[in-house]
Chain A
Amino acid sequence: MNKKLSVSDGFIRRNSVLSGLMVISPIIVCGNTIMNALALIYAFSAITFTSVAVGAFVPKKLPYGVRIIIYTCLGALSYIPVKAAAEEFFPGVIDRTGIYFMLIAVNSLITVQSETKFYRFTKGKMIISLIRHILGFDAVMLVISAIRELIAYGTFCGRVVDADIVISGLGLPFGGFIILGIACGIYRCIAPNSKDTDDFGGDSDVYNF
C-alpha cells in the first residue's frame, strides 16, 4: 500500500481529507458554520505547522514509539498559545466546538503522517508538502462548512440569507457524514489521479493492512 510520495500531494491531488480521510471528525461535528470553520482552520494550521516543523528536529535514532509521543507532546504544547489566541479572536468558539478544538492538536498529520510523509522529504520540500496538506484540510473545511451553514441554518457567515427552506438535520453530525461522503465521491469523479486515492484512509499505509 506504500505509494510514491510527491510534494504536490495534499491539496488537489490526494487531498488530505477527501482522499486520505484524515482529520474528518472536526469537519463532521463542528464544520457546520463558517465561523467554526475559520477557528478550526486557524487552530489546525497553526498547531500542525508548528508541531511538524519543530518535530523535524527530533533525532531519528530514537525509537519510533518515543518519537510519536514527542510529536504528540509538541502538538499539545502548541495548543496552549493557539487556544489563548482563539479566545481573543474567535470568542465563544471553544464552547461551540468543545473537545474537537483540543483534538486538533493530536490529529494524524502530526502523530502519524509526519513520519510516513513529511520527514521523508528534505526540509524545504517538507514545508511545501506540509503547507499543501494543511491547505487541503482548510479548503475542505471551509467549503463543507459553508454548504452546511447555508443549507442547515439559512445563514452565511452568521448573516441570514433568503433561503426558502432549511434542512436543519444537515447541521448535525449525521449531516456531516453524509455531506462529506458525497463530497468524497464527487472529488473522486473530478480530481486528477483520483485512482491513486486511498480506499481506507491515509493512515492505512503506515500499518500495511
Chain B
Amino acid sequence: MFIISELVALLTTNLILTQALGTSTLFIAAGSRKNLLWTAITISVFTTLGSFGACLVNGLLPDNFYDLRLLFYVLVIGIIYVILLTILYFADRKNFCTTRKYVHMSAFNCAVMGTLFTISDSSFGADMSMGSYIMAGAEAGTGFIFAAFVLTAAFKRLNSKDVPAAFRGFPATLVYLGIISMAIYALL
C-alpha cells in the first residue's frame, strides 16, 4: 500500500507529466537509452544538489529581497554546473567531450529551476528542514527518470512510419504525454 501511495505521489507531482517542466530536454534525451540514462541522472544530481542550495538561499535571504531569489538560484546552479564540469574533466579527461554535454543540457533547464521553485513554494510557511529539501529534490529527479522511461517505451512507435508524417516525432509525443497526463489528472 505504501509503495502504491508513493507511486501515486510520484505520478501526481511529476515534473513533466503534470507540470510540463523539462519536456524539451526529455525529448532530446529519449532518442537513445544511453543519453536518456545519463541525462536523467545528471538532472537528478542537479535537482538534489540544487535543492540543498535553495534551502541555504531561502534561509539566508531576507523577505525584502524575495525577487532576487531567481538570481541566487541561478548562481547556485551555476556553481554546481562549474563544479560538476571540473569533476568530470579531472575524473575522466578522455571522455570529457562526450560527458560534458549532459551537464550543459541539464544545468539551466526548466526541470531543474522549476524543481527549486516548486520546493521553495511548498516550503513557504511549512518550515522544511534541509533533509526535506534534499528529499524533495531527489524525488523530482526520480520523477524525471520515470517520465523518461514512459517516453522511451513508446519512442519507437511514436517515430514509426505508420505515424502520419506531420505528426511523426514530437507532435505525436506531445499528444502521447498529454494522454498519460490526462490519466494522472483523472486520479486526482
A residues contacting B by CB (< 8 A) are 21-22, 24-25, 28-29, 64-66, 68-69, 72-73, 75-77, 79-80, 83-84, 98-99, 102-103, 105-108, 111-112, 169, 172-178, 180-182, 184-186, 188-189, 199-204, 206-209
Q: Is the CB of A68 within 8 A of B108?
A: yes
Is the contact region of chain B dominated by helix, strand, or loop, or is it mixed? helix
- Give 17 CB contacts A-B under 8 Å: A25-B21, A28-B23, A72-B108, A73-B75, A76-B73, A84-B67, A103-B114, A107-B110, A108-B24, A169-B185, A177-B20, A177-B177, A178-B175, A185-B171, A203-B25, A209-B29, A209-B31
Q: CB-CB < 8 A to B67: which residues of A?
A: 79-80, 83-84
Instruction: Say whether A76 contacts B71, CB under 8 Å.
Output: yes
Per-residue CB contact flags for chain B residues 40-81 toward chain A (1 = under 8 Å, else 0) read: 000000000000000000000000000110110111011001
List, in ascending order, chain B residues with CB within 8 A of A72's CB: 74, 77-78, 108
Q: Which residues of chain B are near A184, meaning CB under 8 Å?
A: 167, 170-171, 174
* Chain A residues in 8 Å Cβ range of B7: none
Contacts of A176 in B (CB 8 A): 20, 178
Contact indicator B114/A201 (Cβ below 8 Å):
no
Any chain A CB within 8 A of the CB of B87?
A: no
Total CB contacts across the A-B interface at under 8 A: 170
Q: Contact residues of B with A, CB < 8 Å? A: 18-25, 27-32, 35, 67-68, 70-71, 73-75, 77-78, 81-82, 85, 101, 104-105, 107-110, 113-114, 117-118, 121, 159, 164-175, 177-179, 181-182, 184-185
Asked whether, in the complex, the Cβ of A65 is within 8 Å of the Cβ of B171, the reply is: no
Instruction: Tell me if B178 and A21 are in contact (CB < 8 A).
Output: no
Complex formed: what's the CA distance from A80 to B109 in Å? 19
List chain A residues, Cβ under 8 A from B168. 199
Contact B19 A209 (CB under 8 A): no
Chain A residues within 8 Å of B101, by CB:
206-209
- Distance of A184 Cα from B159 Cα, bound (Å): 15
Q: A103-B110, A111-B108, A175-B178 are in contact. Are A201 and B20 (CB under 8 A)?
A: no
Q: How far is the CB of A5 from chain B (nearest CB, A)?
A: 19
Task: Select from chain A the residue with minimum beta-carbon distance to B183.
Answer: A174
